[in-house]
Amino acid sequence: MSSASSVDHLTFHGRDFYVKRDELIDPLLSGNKYRKLYSLIQRPAEQHDIIISFGGTQSNAMLSLAALCRQKGWVFHYTSKPVPLHLKDNLTGNLKMALELGMQLHEVALEDYGQETLRLKSQRDDSTLFVPQGGADPLAQGGIEVLAEEIKQWQQEHDIETLNVVTPSGTGTTAYYLASALPDVTVLTTAVVGDKPYLESQMEMLGGLPLSLRILENRKKYHFAKPYPEFLAIYQELQEAGIEFDLIYAPKMWHTLLQQIDSVEGDILYVHSGGLFGNESMLDRYCHKGF
Ligand SMILES: *Cc1c(COP(=O)(O)O)cnc(C)c1O
C-alpha cells in the first residue's frame, strides 16, 4: 500500500480536470482517512491496545478507524449520540460495517454527550490512544505530507507550471496540512461542515491560515449531510463522466468549484477524498426524499 495513487483525466462541464484516485487505495480505509491515519497504519500493532474516538454514527472517520483497528487487533471504543431509531431498525452503511468490524459503540444521551467527550479527551495512557472527531489531529500531518510529495512529483513529471489542488473540508485537517506542505500550489477548498468562519477557526487551531489556501464559498447555504437535488445531480453527472465520488463532501466541492471556475487559472487536480462506502446509506435517504 505504499505506492502512489494514480491520477486520471476527467472532462466535466467542458473543462479538463485531473483526479488523484485516493478512493482506490482500499475500500474501507480510503481517501483522506487513509492519508490522515497513515502514521497509525505504519505503527507496530504492539504499540497500542485500545483506540478511543467519538462522533457521528455514519462518519467516514469512524469506519476507517474500525477497519484499521480490525487489521491491528486493537479494541475500538466509539462514543456517539443516540443512534436514530430508523438506523437501529435497519442498520446500513458505515455504522453497519463498523459494528461488523468489531467496533464497540457507546451511545450517550444528548445532554451528557459534551461532558462525555471531554472526559474521553483526558482519558489517556500508554496503550490507549485517543483520536479526535474526524481524525482532526497533528497525527494526520505525516500521511498528508506523503500525499503532497506524490502531487509534487506528478506535477514535475507533467511539467505543470500553475497547479490548483482541490479537496473538500470537514474539519479542514486535510486542506490545512496539504496547503502547508504545498506552498507553491494553490489549494482550493470549501467548508462542507459549517461555514467559512468555522473553517478558518479550525485552521487557526491547527497553526494559522496557510497562504496557499483559498476557501471558496457557494452562493447558497447548505446544511451538512442533508440531501439536495442539485448534489445528487452532480454526483450522477460525475459518475457518468467516469468517476464515482462520495455524496456528502464531493458534491458541494464540485458545485462550488464550478460556480467559481472562471476565477481559477492553470491546471486543476482534484484529490478524491474517498468515502464511497457511505454512499449506500446516503442514496437510501435520497430515495426516501423521493429525489
Ligand atoms: C472526512 C472527509 C472529508 C473531510 O476531511 P477533513 O480533513 O476533516 O477536512 C472530505 N471528504 C470525505 C469523503 C471525507 O470522508
pLDDT of 14-68, one tens digit each?
A: 999 999 999 999 999 999 999 999 999 999 999 999 999 999 999 999 999 999 9
Instruction: Identify the pLDDT of residue 2.
Output: 54
CB of 60 closer than 6 angstroms to any ligand 1 atom: yes
Residue type, 56: G
The model's pTM: 0.96
Q: Whose CA is nearest to atom 4 of ligand 1?
A: 170
Distance 238 CA to ligand 1 centre (A): 18
> How far is it, in rounded angstroms, from Cα 50 to Cα 11?
45
Residues 224-271 have pLDDT tens digits of: 999 999 999 999 999 999 999 999 999 999 999 999 999 999 999 999
Local confidence band at 123 (pLDDT 50, 70, 90 cut-offs): confident
Checking if the pLDDT of 146 tops 70, the result is: yes
Distance from the alpha carbon of residue 224 to the mean position of ligand 1, in angstroms = 12
80 lines ligand 1 (CB under 6 A): no
Q: Which of 169, 273, 282 to mutate to test the pocket of ligand 1 (most atoms within 8 A of CB)?
A: 273
Give 199's pLDDT tier (boundaries 50, 70, 90): very high
CA–CA gap between residue 80 and residue 95 (Å, rounded): 11
Q: Give the strand order in the sheet containing 213-215.
A: 7-12, 15-20, 267-271, 163-166, 186-189, 213-215
Residue 249 CA, ligand 1 centroid: distance in Å: 7
The average pLDDT across 167-175 equals 97
Q: Which residue has the cell 459503540?
A: 105
